[in-house]
Amino acid sequence: MNPVIGDLHVHTVASGHAYSTVLENATVALEKGLTVLGVADHGPSMPGGPPAIYFEARGHFPRQIEEVRVFFGAEVDIIDENGNLDLPPHVLKKLDYAIVSFHPQVYSGGSREENTRILLQALSNPLVDIVAHAGNPRYPLDYRVVVREAVAQGKIFEINNSSFAVSRKGSSDNCRAIAQEILHCGGELVVSSDAHFCHEIGEYKHALDLLSSIHFPCERILNVHENRLLQFLEYRKERKRSLSPSPVF
């Protein structure tokens, strides 16, 4: 039985290259026994992505669909060598959570040292909560440095199932190194489907197999535990509320 109860990295048709609606995603999440669903559509820098107003009009967004609690986040792109993001602070502050990532359609990246510096700059943004698919070999990183910084700031890395099953081939060894560093630092992680079609939601076999191969403790996979996952989301949201109205980065 799949022990994971929540999927925080799920896309909808609003991302421009995904194929399901919020309702379709929630229906599949319910069928698969998930109790937490996080919608994290791409930002406006991704070709076909929604404008900032999509993330600002969150008052229309459902918070519960049957037994599934629904959270409204975003997968924000690093857009330049300074670690700037494609959604402004006043929008990020309104989200339940923000996942940060590199994509070649937006920023080509640089050397290991450059990518590490850029990701550290993005991590220093208090409105960033999760790091997505950092095992992508297109963007080499110093995993020891970035993982330790994330753990120190109470932020988490994901192990992205899609990186093994669909895209970003060659990520396996890097994801293993990330998970081992998290284990060494005493941190936690999440597993994510990165679903772009509803039937991919809740699919984590490749990610869980990798974690099992290094004996990563199940209790340190955040989205195995509903209460701890909700506590993490609430804690991150409260930190954002405590910031000044218009943080500048």
The answer to whether residue 248 scores a pLDDT higher than 70 is no
In angstroms, the CA 224 to CA 157 distance is 15
Has residue 29 been placed in a domain?
A: no
Task: Calculate the average pLDDT of the chain.
Answer: 94
- Domain assignment present for residue 157? The answer is yes
Residue 165, pLDDT above cutoff 80: no
- The enclosing domain of 69 has a CATH number of 3.20.20.140
Domain count for the chain, please give it: 1
Is 237 a residue whose pLDDT tops 60? yes
Instruction: For residue 155, tell me if it sits in a domain.
Output: yes
In a domain, 32, yes or no: no
Percentage, residues of the chain above pLDDT 70: 97
In-domain check, residue 124: yes
* 173: number of Cβ within 10 Å: 11
In a domain, 63, yes or no: yes
- Would you report the helix, strand and coil content of the chain in percent, each value rounded to 5? 40, 20, 45
Q: Determine the structural domain holding residue 140 and report its residue range.
A: 6-15+39-241
Q: Quick check: is 144 in a domain?
A: yes
